[in-house]
Chain A
Amino acid sequence: MKTGHVGRSVPRLDALDKVTGSALYGFDIELPGMFYGATLRSPCSHAKIIHVDISEAIKAPGVRAVITGKDFPFTFGGSIKDQPFLAIDKVRYIGEPVAAVAAETEAEAQDAVERIRVTYEDLPAVFDPREAAGEDAPLLHPDLGEYTRFGPYDVVPGTNICTIRRYKHGNVEKGFSDADEVFEDEFSAHSVSHSTIETHCAAARYEPVSGEFTIWSSNDRPHRAIRELANAVGIPINHIRLIVPYVGGSFGGKSTLVAEAIAIALARFTKGRPVKATFSREEELTATQSRVAAWMKIKTGVTKSGVLTARKAEVFWDNGAYASYAPGVALRGGLTVFGPYRIPNLELDSRLVYTNKMIAGAYRGYGTTQVTWACESQMDMIAHKLGLDPLEFRLGNGYVENDRYINGQVLRDVGLKETLEKASREIGWGSGRKRISASRFRGKGIATTIKGTVTPTESFCIIRLNNDASITLLMSSAEIGGGQKTVLAQIAADTIGVPIESISVQNPDTFVTPYDHAVASSRTTYHMGNAVRSASQQLREKILQVAATLLGLDCNRLSLAEGKVFEEGKGERMHLDALMSKRFGGKGGEILAEGYYTSAGSPLLAAYSGLEGMSSIFWMYGTHAAEVEVDVETGVVKVLKIAAAHDLGRAINPMTCEQQIEGAVVMGLSNTLFEEFILAGGRVLNDTLSDYKLATARDVPDIVPIIVETRHTEGPFGAKGLGEPAAAATAPAIANAIYEAVGVRIKDLPITPEKLLAALKRKKVAN
């Protein structure tokens, strides 16, 4: 079959809607008779709710409903069912929803919220996960042992330890004694905000007679969101419909019930009229989700010639007050602390701990970003101490084809070396530190990363060949900005044999578009791509069967390309619209195909006995090489260039791959240099974008995205994934470049000018 679209930078299908302003996002949803919701939030980090007085609020102009946790006493959770829609008897973080108002206008809802009075009784609070893991720490979830769990998460009841993962392979003590040098270092990766420009927003409608919910929301995993709701309130899934318009960015943040929780709870009380809840930027920065912060202790053994012998890692992950999707971070994300390296002896102790702060959940990279920070910083420290070139050190230990992953899975399509070579060549590796002026120095740094994808998961899709030969692709992969629609349409177009212009990709609607795990974990091109391919193949076969019958020919003599049926040796025989017309006549009809893909049971996942759960259906490799300029008088770091090479299997659409790489580099740079939550006793002080700083157009370096293709055997046209790895390698590449430039090592993110300047001064004093 002709592969006309795959591999080409086909213009994005959603571009026209977006550039003309006609794209409708969750933020734009407007429904007849709609009310507006506003939320009262806890000012206490940890407290009992003694009394909630809504009497003044209920009288306020325009108010239709005022509710508290007692009115909607359900809990939900993506991993562990621990989170109330509205706090019921206790609040566990500043910002936790305590009450909500539905009113005719947004202003009236906000006014009414101000009239609600709550009495709290303070409880001791804990903010550091290392402290919270201790025996005497105040307990956030005394009933932890009784919560329903939706995954193999080991909780430790009676403590704040939400998930504990221990892993051993070989004998690290022997590995350390075999080593010539042992390095022991501590690192920390801070919590950061997704800061999507579109805040969290959702509208919900509850039909009182049938007991059905309809929800419109910017959400990247609609089927899992409705499952959370179904599990929470005890209604069947076919009573919940979630419609996802365009999403103004997610990066993992729009993944569970956030604004949805407020809209859903209020809708229950507005007699069938919809309620919309839109979060303010302040709510975004204080009461949604953040990246899971991590404190990491890494001990690594190495021979003097630079061969890694052992690594032991202890990680404390900061959950915040509720689990959300963080357990998977501790369970899986932490494993990449070993990097893409052959290390014979391994040990990991990974603990996710509740603290009285904003919820930490899924964030682009899912734990890999944090541990890569530690791993790749230490790799450079080791290289420098041993007098080795950091690039050669990584090449020497890095995975190659047919190496085994830590659980025994055989690694195939390993593009690691190529990413290291290409990124380092592009940056001009080996030029060393340069002095530009009395106060400015330049240096280069490199960092590499490995990331898998959540395995196994399921993706389904349906393709409809309409009466006029136009095609509708029904699948639940939301367009969150990564070009999901376009890439999947390209796969469909080439597999079926039609021009891409004839394909329309609908937005997710859980009543119509079948199950998908999520747009997350860099999984969509691969998993939904395979489901689309499967459905496309089925559709193609059905079309050719019809053609064969209509033409009185053997099916094997026919092919489909560009929307036309061709006969071998004879050329074009029939257009697709003519085929449909002939097949169905004036009464009409359609041809339907379905596709399904799961990675479960794939032979690629085979591993040491009992450890198959650690395999990933594909592994992504990426290397970033950064050049920075440091002003040693101000501590300001200017990133001049980042060469970002990524092994993504196959670039279905090179342009969208570049978008992902560049975008994740900018996000990584912003996280590293500009962003941090400034906390005082659990309260986020910098709750506006003037003080929670994101990179602007003036802050971005020259970014060179480099695509490396290794053709995965089971991926659609050889594709793997890309969305996340580029977020991980940027931070350590920058830190390593800073080290080359000025000889200072920062181990705790973020790298702020003040922190760097203080370190430079200390170094000067020490010398």
Chain B
Amino acid sequence: MKRLKPFTYFEPASISEAIEILAERGNEAYALAGGTDLLVRMKRGEIRPSALVNIKGIRDLDQIRNEPGRGTHVGPLVTIAGIGNDLRLCSSHPVITEAARVLGSPSIRTMATLGGNIGRASPASDMAPALIVLGARVAIGGTAGKREQSVEDIFSGPGTLRIQAGELISSFFLPEIAPRSGAAYLKIGRREGMDCALVGVAVQITLGEKEKEAIDGRIALASVGPVPLRAARAEKVLFSGPLTEDRIKEVARVASDEADPIDDMRASAWYRREMVRVLSSRALQKALARAEGGKEG
């Protein structure tokens, strides 16, 4: 198998140290988190870093911390397995644990991190749609200081973030979810086990006083555009009346229309659009049932 080419190796003890090294070396240096994407790209010859900055030695980047009344902070080095197995998150923000549990395989999940997954900015990311429907925000640290923005806005293209060389994701924030909310993440692949999303759909809704009427809701799609896509037009249909079978179908149809997939070796654009329609409908039905069932999120 392909052997990794040599690189200069750093193990910074703090974020500021990491940022300094990354800023100094620019595009030649990469931050190493779980390595499940980075090492693959290096072995395939897609990138040739002259330096790797291993950020796993930095303290406190792997914590999950709840701020009562506001939400939950998730460190970028929290592993996907860590998220999937976290009982608190399972209760407070179930869509993120649902997405984490269908990512990759058990061994990949042990190593992969939330920061690494979002940092990779793949349009097929399972975690991105979940974070988007949660209204998640991300804190980024750099030489110019800290800044914050919504996860939804951080993707600029396939594999690229609105982030400078020398900046590092330092934390994620998941706002607390209102009562009578329900969410679901569904994905479809070519097989049951260990698959990248051919299409992924995350839905979160919050019901109001009137039966089946959503007062809040978001829909996000994976693998049907250059970046994880927020289906804003479909969301509008969500709020246009009670979520009857017909309205659900309409939401799904608009989401399918809104999707912007390409033909590639894995699937055609036509099939992806069809799957957006089918999965949006199914995910919305699930989210509705969970919201009605009284469970949080």
A280 and B190 contacting across the interface, CB-CB below 8 Å = no
B278 and A696 contacting across the interface, CB-CB below 8 Å = no
A281 and B192 contacting across the interface, CB-CB below 8 Å = no
- A674 touches B (CB below 8 Å): yes
CB distance from B270 to the nearest CB of A (A): 8
With contact pairs A111-B5, A634-B278, A691-B266 given, residues A757 and B193 touching in the complex (Cβ less than 8 Å):
no
> Please, how many angstroms separate the alpha-carbon atoms of A111 and B1 in the complex?
13
A757 and B274 contacting across the interface, CB-CB below 8 Å = yes
Cβ proximity bits B181-199 to A, threshold 8 Å, 1 near / 0 not:
0000000101111111000
B188 and A634 contacting across the interface, CB-CB below 8 Å = yes
- B21 touches A (CB below 8 Å): no
CB distance from B246 to the nearest CB of A (A): 15
- A633 touches B (CB below 8 Å): yes
A699 and B3 contacting across the interface, CB-CB below 8 Å = no
With contact pairs A634-B188, A693-B190, A693-B191 given, residues A106 and B265 touching in the complex (Cβ less than 8 Å):
no
CB distance from A404 to the nearest CB of B (A): 44
> Please, how many angstroms separate the alpha-carbon atoms of A696 and B190 in the complex?
11
> Please, how many angstroms separate the alpha-carbon atoms of A290 and B188 in the complex?
28
> Please, how many angstroms separate the alpha-carbon atoms of A673 and B188 in the complex?
15
B162: chain A residues within 8 A (beta carbon): none
- Chain A residue nearest to B193 in the complex (CB): A696
> Please, how many angstroms separate the alpha-carbon atoms of A170 and B29 in the complex?
74
- A759 touches B (CB below 8 Å): no
> Please, how many angstroms separate the alpha-carbon atoms of A107 and B5 in the complex?
7
- Chain A residue nearest to B2 in the complex (CB): A280
B275 and A674 contacting across the interface, CB-CB below 8 Å = no
Cβ proximity bits A261-280 to B, threshold 8 Å, 1 near / 0 not:
00000000000000000101
B190 and A752 contacting across the interface, CB-CB below 8 Å = yes
- A697 touches B (CB below 8 Å): yes
- B268 touches A (CB below 8 Å): yes
- B267 touches A (CB below 8 Å): yes
CB distance from B251 to the nearest CB of A (A): 16
A696: chain B residues within 8 A (beta carbon): 191-194
CB distance from A698 to the nearest CB of B (A): 4
- A431 touches B (CB below 8 Å): no
With contact pairs A633-B278, A754-B268 given, residues A695 and B191 touching in the complex (Cβ less than 8 Å):
yes
> Please, how many angstroms separate the alpha-carbon atoms of A281 and B2 in the complex?
9
A693 and B265 contacting across the interface, CB-CB below 8 Å = no
- Chain A residue nearest to B196 in the complex (CB): A690
> Please, how many angstroms separate the alpha-carbon atoms of A668 and B193 in the complex?
17
Q: Which residues 198-245 of B have a CB within 8 angstroms of A?
A: none
Cβ proximity bits A96-112 to B, threshold 8 Å, 1 near / 0 not:
00000000011100110
Interface size on A, residues (CB 8 A): 32
- A753 touches B (CB below 8 Å): yes
- B271 touches A (CB below 8 Å): yes
B196: chain A residues within 8 A (beta carbon): 690
B192 and A698 contacting across the interface, CB-CB below 8 Å = yes
A754 and B265 contacting across the interface, CB-CB below 8 Å = no
> Please, how many angstroms separate the alpha-carbon atoms of A695 and B195 in the complex?
11
CB distance from B183 to the nearest CB of A (A): 21
Cβ proximity bits A690-715 to B, threshold 8 Å, 1 near / 0 not:
11010111110000000000000000
- A636 touches B (CB below 8 Å): yes
Q: Which residues 87-136 of A have a CB within 8 angstroms of B?
A: 105-107, 110-111
Name the contact of B188 in the complex, choosing from A107, A278, A636 (C-beta under 8 A). A636
CB distance from A31 to the nearest CB of B (A): 19
B275 and A634 contacting across the interface, CB-CB below 8 Å = yes
CB distance from B11 to the nearest CB of A (A): 23
B271 and A757 contacting across the interface, CB-CB below 8 Å = yes
> Please, how many angstroms separate the alpha-carbon atoms of A280 and B43 in the complex?
11
- A678 touches B (CB below 8 Å): yes
Name the contact of B190 in the complex, choosing from A199, A633, A674 (C-beta under 8 A). A674
CB distance from A531 to the nearest CB of B (A): 38
B1: chain A residues within 8 A (beta carbon): 199, 278, 280-281
A690: chain B residues within 8 A (beta carbon): 196
A754 and B271 contacting across the interface, CB-CB below 8 Å = yes
Name the contact of A106 in the complex, choosing from B3, B267, B270 (C-beta under 8 A). B3
Cβ proximity bits A45-75 to B, threshold 8 Å, 1 near / 0 not:
0000000000000000000000000000000
- A407 touches B (CB below 8 Å): no
CB distance from A274 to the nearest CB of B (A): 19
Cβ proximity bits A24-53 to B, threshold 8 Å, 1 near / 0 not:
000000000000000000000000000000
- Chain A residue nearest to B192 in the complex (CB): A698
A686 and B265 contacting across the interface, CB-CB below 8 Å = yes
- A685 touches B (CB below 8 Å): yes
Q: Which residues 245-297 of B have a CB within 8 angstroms of A?
A: 265-268, 270-271, 274-275, 278
Name the contact of A699 in the complex, choosing from B4, B193, B268 (C-beta under 8 A). B193
CB distance from A652 to the nearest CB of B (A): 33
A673: chain B residues within 8 A (beta carbon): 191
B2: chain A residues within 8 A (beta carbon): 110, 280, 282
A635: chain B residues within 8 A (beta carbon): 271
Cβ proximity bits A452-489 to B, threshold 8 Å, 1 near / 0 not:
00000000000000000000000000000000000000
> Please, how many angstroms separate the alpha-carbon atoms of A223 and B265 in the complex?
41
- Chain B residue nearest to A695 in the complex (CB): B191
A693 and B195 contacting across the interface, CB-CB below 8 Å = yes
> Please, how many angstroms separate the alpha-carbon atoms of A111 and B270 in the complex?
42
Scoring A105, A110, A695, A754 by chain B CB atoms within 10 A of each residue's CB, the highest score goes to A754
A753 and B190 contacting across the interface, CB-CB below 8 Å = yes
Q: Which residues 662-690 of A have a CB within 8 angstroms of B?
A: 673-674, 678, 685-686, 690
> Please, how many angstroms separate the alpha-carbon atoms of A282 and B193 in the complex?
21
> Please, how many angstroms separate the alpha-carbon atoms of A686 and B268 in the complex?
15
A281: chain B residues within 8 A (beta carbon): 1
B265: chain A residues within 8 A (beta carbon): 678, 685-686, 691
A686: chain B residues within 8 A (beta carbon): 265
What are 30 of the A-B contact pairs (CB < 8 Å)?
Answer: A105-B3, A110-B3, A111-B5, A278-B1, A281-B1, A282-B2, A634-B274, A635-B271, A636-B188, A673-B191, A678-B265, A685-B265, A686-B265, A690-B196, A693-B190, A693-B191, A693-B195, A695-B191, A695-B193, A697-B193, A698-B192, A698-B193, A699-B191, A699-B193, A753-B188, A753-B190, A753-B271, A754-B268, A754-B271, A757-B274
Known: A693-B191, A696-B193. 19 other contacts (CB 8 A): A106-B3, A110-B2, A110-B3, A199-B1, A280-B1, A282-B2, A634-B274, A635-B271, A674-B191, A686-B265, A693-B190, A693-B195, A696-B191, A696-B194, A697-B193, A698-B191, A699-B191, A699-B192, A754-B267
Q: 10 closest Cβ contacts across the A-B interface? A: A696-B193, A698-B193, A107-B3, A698-B192, A754-B271, A678-B265, A633-B278, A685-B265, A280-B1, A699-B192
